Structure 1
Amino acid sequence: MASAKQNENLLLTEHFTWPPITLIDDIINTVNDSLYSCNDSLETGMLSAPPAQLGFSPRADESEDKMEERARLEIEEGAQKLETLMVDAVDRNFDRLEIWTLRNVLCLPREEGFEGWVRLGHYEGLEVPARDNNKLSPETLYALRRKLVETEKLHAALVAEKKRNEAQIARLRGLLAPPKQTPRASTGDDDKRTVVAPFAFLTHHPAAQALGVQPLPASATKAENRTPLTTHTSFTTTQLPHLRQLLASLKPHLASTALPSGRAGESEERAKERRVYIESQSRRVLERRGVDTRDGVEGCVEGGRGRRDEVRALEGIVGGLGDGGKEEEQGEGEEDKMDTD
């Protein structure tokens, strides 16, 4: 059976979503990291300084190299002793901080059995079965366990979706952010590059400011009370009935008023453009089929091109042949008639 202290730790861990002792551990680890960093910097600075500036002087029958070696050893030994003293002081004092914090800050009131009366927010509306309840069969416990697992999966999916939505919102806000100067990375000089948002003119252009459109706030907490786009959209919606009335009053005038006509040469211009377009497309088709179109596209036929005079001569020959055939038919008809007589 768990003790009262264990129940208290479990309750605080569920409330904070992290064990209380981890906060003290993080504080102590941060202080130790700072201590080690400061001690290393002190040792490096003393080793880089000339020994004479630190009060070292050569002894009798001692060369310069030996004096520097002796100074280096003394500096390393002193830095190690200083680090030991500081670590001991940190451990002693922060152990006191840990005990005092766990007894007076990260704890429950001292009344016995108080943790049994505490109910966290996510337990509201939850019916806790009695201890002597015999309805909890293994199948029921398994179903509850599966429900808990699926709920945790859903929670993880919702948290991931929230992070993706926040990232998407941040990218969309970046499209409306004003241009700013950012230093160019890994160049070694002071030149800068400009990060331009393509839609920043919608909110930061002087024309937008003249219309009263306010820029989007930098943080999401300020965006709750400032919705300029919603305000302008609502105003535009309220003006729609008046615009409909104006349109209804203009409809009778449109029925009795002729629309303005174009210029006199506009139709000829369009006809000319149409001919040029048809000729260009016809030239492309004929050139694909191997037809020579240097003299124009008129009179071109499949597989070759005939000139105008040749076409007219062929038409004359065909016409002459047609007339000759008609005369022969008339002569044969007269001979048949004479033979009959």
Structure 2
Amino acid sequence: MASAKQSENLLLTEHFTWPPISLIDDIINTVNDSLYSCNDSLETGMLSAPPAQLGFLPQNPEEGEERVAERARLEIEEGAQKLETLMVDAVDRNFDRLEIWTLRNVLCLPKEEGFEGWVRLGHYEGLKIPTAENELTPEALYALRRKLVETEKLHAALAAEKKRNEVQIARLRALLVPPTQRQAPRASTASAAEEKENTERETAPFAFLTHHPAAQTLGVQPLPASISSAKPETRTPLTTHTTFTTTQLPHLRQLLASLKPHLASTALPSGKAGETEERAKERRSYIESQSRRVLERRGVDTRDGVEGVIDGNRVRGDEVRALEGVVGGLKGGEKGKGGEVEEVGEGDRMDVD
């Protein structure tokens, strides 16, 4: 069973995603690297200086400059090594104290006993820990296996869909990149220029959207020659439009504020009579055409128009005249009995034409 200190280290490592001691080690390693670099620079500077400037003079008339330089080099190297030893010892002694203090007061848990048993990290939220006596049934194992199989199928389908989308995106981007930027340039002649223009129109019909001088004037950046190495964050084709629109907003607000006082006194323009009649005529034509289509679908003859049709059947003219005769006879009999009945006029008859 792990001790309390080991449990604390495991909990802190899981929380920070790195061991606490590694932070102190990185600090000490960085300080040691700086120390070694400074010491090397000091040694190099002293070795490059003339020995006379550092106080190395001939001890006797027979000692030459070479022996003086050799004696100075040996003393400088020995002194640099001693200085490095002293500095490393000081760093180790002081940073060991820093390590002990940090691990006891900063990178640690409260001193209450058993505190680590009550800590719950964020990724443990909603996690259900099965009990020791919980046994996996065959049904549950089969369900988990089926879930794994379906997950693998879904993963394979998504991977295939991703590949298809990448191929489709590459094809669509190829429509915007002229072939001259995807291939090595050829010799420039009149016929070659015409052939190049025709080839660009055939292989990249939408290249003018990004590579035309007018598009570049508007700030639309052309796609790079290597589509595969293009970075989406480097392409900002609408920067110019957005900047221009943003700069025009204050002026538009000022114009709107100046127009608001005139809205109350200014009437909205009304349509003319001729336009109203024209719209009504168009509406009647549209209704008649749609009615004709519906009646023709039901098998009704619409050569004489669509009027006089009841429930999809046209009333014939002889039927209308027979009904008018019956009504006239009934009215004539009532009139002979002394009653006055209004005769049916020409305008009251049903229009059967």
TM-score (norm 1): 0.46
Kindly indicate whether structure 1 or structure 2 has the higher relative contact order, using CA contacts under 8 Å at least 6 residues apart.
2
TM-score (norm 2): 0.44
